[in-house]
Amino acid sequence: MGNNNVASFHRGSGSLPFPCHLQLGTNATIKLSTCVIHKWDDGSSSEKGEVSYTVEGSMCNLVLTRLVYKDGNFNIVTFILHDTIICSDRESLCLQISKTETGFLRTVDFKSHGSIPWTKTKKNVHAWGGGVTNTKVYLYGSTNRCGLLVLECKKNHDHEEAKAVTIAHYFVNSNGTVGVNRSSETTDIGFSVVLKFGVSDGKFDITVEGPEQHPVSALLYMFDEVKRSGIWKPSMCPHCDNIRRKHSRMFWQSDSEDSDGVPLPPHLGSQKNAASIANDGRFKGHANGSFIRCRNFYGFN
């Protein structure tokens, strides 16, 4: 997973194509792109993949970059968040993950000219297995336009470095109270991107899930729960949890009935690594008038 030379976010049929530019209603767009930033004479290259939300004049960019050596391997990746409601033109929030010689992951987080103002940090020691999960969450913005950044590191009890790292970002634009420079036709949208990092056979392993669409009310509920507890789980989104439970019951029922047919396909948007946008012909761009299914998006395919 995710270790070849081609900078691509998708794998498998039915994925939202890269590059892609979608018009979401009148005042919002989502753009997905990948590119090779630079190639050197020795065969190494710098690559990036980007997801960009633009809503009513504000912009939020998520960028994943890596430096690939001539043999196709890479040891460092950087996740960059630039959201115009919290960052000036030259500011960004950065999470850098490097692979150590011992096969673990080391993380560094910082903001241009300073540190990330994490809302809460929490350490959870697991009773069984001796594992430790360190979680940092950063909630920002207002009710109308807000976001959540999560950094989760899973470690062995006696290690400083992580064996697995997850970065999650949630984007919300909602109706709420009318604010400055907001149009009368406010766009309600909620999206998430989840990046998972590990080491497999001594090589970096990266999986990107999303962008996935969520009801705004469900994400705002999740934000409240994260702020209260300092804990993050994808199932804290009630919409996702409800569909996951429904999906589990569907397969359980199929098994109990000993059906000769194949199990019913999952509801679009039901899986944590699948999203759907029912555009009904209202959106311009790829897949006009259809469901767009985003499944198994890989940072670098």
pTM of the model: 0.76
State how far the alpha carbon of 66 is from the alpha carbons of 37, 45, 72, 73, 97, in Å: 10, 8, 11, 10, 10
Q: What is the mean pLDDT of residues 111-123?
A: 90
Q: Quote the CA–CA distance of 193 and 196 in Å, as a whole number.
A: 10
The alpha carbon of residue 252 and the mean position of all alpha carbons in its chain are separated, in whole angstroms, by: 29
Supply the pLDDT for residue 284. 40
Model pLDDT for residues 59-101, shown as the tens digit of each residue:
999 999 998 888 888 889 999 999 999 998 889 999 999 998 8
User: Is residue 127 over pLDDT 90?
Assistant: no
The residue that leads in pLDDT, 152 or 88, is 152
- Angle between helix axes 238-256 and 216-229 (nearest 10 degrees) is 100
Q: Quote the CA–CA distance of 300 and 277 in Å, as a whole number.
A: 23
> What tokens were used for 278?
């029912």
Report residue 13's pLDDT band, with 50, 70 and 90 as the boundaries. very low
Supply the pLDDT for residue 142. 84
CB 284 within 8 A of CB 29: no
Supply the pLDDT for residue 133. 93
Model pLDDT for residues 18-48, shown as the tens digit of each residue:
688 888 878 899 999 988 888 898 888 889 9
**DSSP 8-state code for residue 92:** -
Alpha helix (H) residue ranges in the chain:
216-229, 238-256
CB 92 within 8 A of CB 110: no
Report residue 241's pLDDT band, with 50, 70 and 90 as the boundaries. confident
Strands of the 105-111 sheet, one edge to the other: 20-24, 28-39, 45-55, 58-68, 76-83, 93-99, 105-111
Supply the pLDDT for residue 186. 61
Model pLDDT for residues 159-201, shown as the tens digit of each residue:
789 999 999 999 999 876 433 344 445 678 999 999 999 998 8
**DSSP 8-state code for residue 104:** -
What region, left, alpha or beta, does residue 176 occupy, with left being phi > 0 and alpha being psi -120 to 50 degrees? left
Q: Quote the CA–CA distance of 278 and 25 in Å, as a whole number.
A: 12
